[in-house]
Structure formats: structure tokens, C-alpha cells
């Protein structure tokens, strides 16, 4: 499985996941704020802070799960062939 440029594809997936997590708050925080506003009678400042905290925790856990799923699979090819002698062996 080849990647783009100098990184394997799985690392590009991790980088992409990280950037999506960072910028997902633009959409996620207003959604959480709307849900909290409908379910609670707290002041807007409290709802804003709480929605940022909830969305940050949720997006970080989701990104962690995606990265874990990507990294738990071992690459199909290995650069070292078993039984091959290295330069440093005697």
C-alpha cells in the first residue's frame, strides 16, 4: 500500500483525522449548544462553555478511536525479511 509523497497512507489518514477533529467544533459546538439550550435553562455563557467542553471531549475520543483503528492493523509488508542476515551480524 503506497502513500502520497514520503508518508504511508495510514499516516496521512491520521493527519487528516487530526485536522478534522480540530475544525469540527465549527459545526459541533453549535449543535451541542442547541441541544443544551432545549434541555436546560442555564444562562447562555454557561451553555457556551459547557458545549465547547462536551464537544472537545467527544471529538478527541472519536479521533482517538479512529487513530487506534488505523494503527492496530499491521502493515502488509515488512522491510526486514525473516532469516536475512544484517550487515552487523558476525
Q: What pTM was computed for the model?
A: 0.72
Cα angle 70-71-74, degrees, rounded to a multiple of 5: 105
How many distinct structural domains can be found in the chain? 1
In this predicted structure, what is the pLDDT of residue 8?
84
Mean pLDDT for 60-64 is: 96
| Residue 44 placed within a domain | yes
User: Residue range 63-90: average pLDDT?
Assistant: 72
- As given in the structure block, the three cell numbers for residue 34 are 442547541
Does residue 4 register a pLDDT over 80? no
Q: Residue 56 domain-assigned?
A: yes
- Asked whether residue 85 is assigned to any structural domain, the reply reads no
Q: What is the 8-class DSSP label of residue 80?
A: S
Residue 87 lies in a domain: no
* Assigned domain for 88 exists: no
Q: Is residue 3 part of a domain?
A: no
Instruction: Please report whether residue 32 resides in a domain.
Output: yes
Amino acid at each position: 500500500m503506497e502513500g502520497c509523497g514520503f508518508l504511508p497512507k495510514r499516516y496521512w489518514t491520521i493527519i487528516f483525522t487530526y485536522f478534522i477533529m480540530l475544525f469540527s467544533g465549527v459545526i459541533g459546538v453549535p449543535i451541542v449548544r442547541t441541544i443544551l439550550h432545549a434541555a436546560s435553562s442555564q444562562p447562555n455563557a454557561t451553555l457556551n462553555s459547557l458545549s465547547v467542553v462536551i464537544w472537545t471531549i467527544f471529538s478527541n475520543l472519536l479521533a482517538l478511536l479512529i487513530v487506534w483503528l488505523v494503527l492496530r492493523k499491521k502493515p502488509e509488508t515488512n522491510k526486514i525479511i525473516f532469516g536475512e542476515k544484517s550487515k552487523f551480524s558476525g
